[in-house]
Structure 1
Amino acid sequence: MKNPLIKINRRFFVITAISFTASTLFASCSSPNSASTTAVNTSAKTTANTVASTQEEKIKVGVSPVPAGEILEFVKKNLAPAAGLNIEIITFSDGVQDNFALRDKQIDANYFQHVPFMEDFGKRHNIKMVALNPPIHLNPVGIYSKRHKSLAEVPKNGLVIIPDDINNAHRALKVLEEAKLIKLKNNPGVLVSVKDIVENPKNLQIKEVISGQLLPSLPDVDLGVMTGATVLAGGMRTDKDALALESAKNPLYAVTLTTLQGQENDPKIQKLYKLLRDQKVKDFIKEKYQGAVIPIP
């Protein structure tokens, strides 16, 4: 008679063997799926990290509407996306709030002013700013009139308006001198004012007004001396409407990107500046403004 325990042990062995085989087969089938899932998860994490590392940098920039605003809009649409830069353009029209907004850190940089204006404004309002050089473009100062078609038509005692800030007033007086309407003291390297006029054959009444009032006041005066930016904002053309125009030889009064001292090496500031100096921007300025705005080489 066979021992019943032997049958039980054999049966247990068979069941155990079958279970082990099934487990092995299941494991061999499921392992690749598990590995695949792990690989997918790892890949997803890698992709997420890559996307995160290449996200656009955001920068807020204050501008005057024309031409700086239009130039920066060109950069925003055509160059910034490929450079990973998200530009938020904030427009100011008075030539003052741009720097106050920069001081208060409402914007990261502004693009509307030349270095002498920036330095004078900074001293008067205790704002430490830095201009990136070389500059971007020049808005040449010109003499304009709604009443006269030539400077010869300007009557004696005619009223002439010029900007009230010291640097643009200097530029305006220099243009009037080049046009032989006045003569200034020969004092190289010094900013001139109305007090420095030594000859005034037509006894022109020269009045300083804030920049925002130059264009609206033009119909009521004989001559207005304004920057190209002011003229363009009024729908006029520097190259066609100016009775006399500032020489573009000196880039001292060319407009550039400005930021607070200590922020000039910020990567997003440097990235924007590089885009503004791109050859495509120079070509855009030449084509759009036809000499009314001049790109700086």
Structure 2
Amino acid sequence: MNLRLIISLFLFIVIMSLTSCHSPAGNRTITIGINESDQMIWDFVAKKAREKGLNLSLAAFSEYAEADLALAGGDLDANAFQTVSYFKSLPPNVKKKLAPLGTTYAASIGVYSKQYKQLEDIPDGAVIAVPDEAAAFGRALFLMQEAGLITLKKGFNGTGSADMIKDNPKHLILKTETKKNAFQAAEHADAAVLSQSDAKKAGFHAEKDALIRSAQMKEAYIHLIAVRAEDKDDERMRTLLSLYQSDDTAAFIEKEYQGSLVPVFLPGSSVLTEKKE
């Protein structure tokens, strides 16, 4: 074997080694954007991941949009933050870069108040704080109808504005709040529609203190893990999903969250399938 061939083979081996070290398959760390209230769940999953040689680096986010932009831009490898309905409503230029890996849980929402103990006590002209994000706003309207506070127009599908309210007998004033500020809403409003995590931040017991909790657990309200589109079949991501969507993770969620979160494990392909409600 001549010297030139030996050198060529040596360079080929070095290049292949460097490529392998910097490929996604060779990187055993996944950086995940999470909701702060889910920290316990992800600590549980991270412990299992370490046993599989996978390191999960967790970064807490308070806004859906920030977590998706960070994922699309490469600052995150995954996020476990948004609902199915929110993911489907993403701007096309962001949505095309992402893919749902699989679902995690359905979260309840409720009406909470620092001033009133029953729905009947909410006075005429009361200010009700509601989420400003479109899908969450629609869900809040459904809950208010379920509570008997308003009546919605026929055909309301969960998206739209306050114009979809047909009857508002108590002349309630809806004040929108960002997710970042949602937990503070109950301090300056007569009542607030809050997720279980925001209710907890606001000092409420998610179940005991709710004037009413939503019984709706439609697929639109299920949360999911999102990844970049090119990574949805990555071995690390498939391992991550299997660790989350396991019997012991489901049991952990049921024990720790006492019904405020309900484990719902579906594949990402199910999320992309349009269903008639």
TM-score range for the pair, normalised by the shorter chain length: 0.7 to 0.9
1:73 is matched with 43
CA contact (8 A) 2:254 2:261 kept: yes
Q: How far apart are 1:264 and its partner, in Å?
A: 0.9
Equivalent positions of 1:183-262 (< 5 A) are 183-187=151-155, 189=157, 191-262=159-230
Counterpart in the other structure of 1:158: 126
Structure with higher strand content: 2
Quote the sequence identity (%). 27
Please report how far the alpha carbon of residue 213 of structure 1 lies from its aligned counterpart in structure 2 after TM superposition.
Answer: 1.6
SS at match of 2:90: helix
User: Distance between the aligned counterparts of 2:115 and 2:221, measured in 1?
Assistant: 28
Work out the CA distance in 2 between the residues paired with 1:234 and 1:180: 24
Q: What CA distance in whole angstroms lies between the structure 2 residues aligned with 1:267 and 1:160?
A: 46
Higher relative contact order (CA 8 A, sep 6+): 2
Paired amino acid for 1:93: S
- C-alpha RMSD of matched pairs (Å): 2.0
Asked which structure has the greater CA Rg, the reply is 1
Q: 1:209 to 1:179 in 2, by over 3 A?
A: same
2-side partners of 1:147 and 1:262: how far apart?
50
Contact 1:64 1:112 in 2 (8 A): yes
**Pair 1:90-2:59 in alignment:** yes
**Aligned pair partner of 1:111 in 51, 75, 80:** 80
Residue 192 (structure 1) shift: 3.6
The gaps in structure 1 that reach 5 residues or longer are: 1-53
Normalised to the residue count of structure 1, the TM-score between the two structures is 0.76
Show CA shifts across 1:238-295 (max 9, x none). 2112111112442321111101222211111111111111111111111111112111
Letter in 1 for 2:191: L
Deviation at 1:127, TM superposition (A): 5.5
Change (3 A) 1:269 1:113: same
Which has the larger helix fraction?
A: 1
> Which of 28, 32, 48 is the matching residue for 1:57?
28
Distance 1:271 1:236 in 2: 36
Measured after TM superposition, the shift of residue 81 of structure 1 is 1.9
Instruction: Report if aligned partners of 1:118, 1:129 keep a CA contact under 8 Å in 2.
Output: no
User: Aligned residue for 1:102?
Assistant: 71
TM-score normalised by the chain length of structure 2? 0.81
Size of the aligned set, in residue pairs, is 241
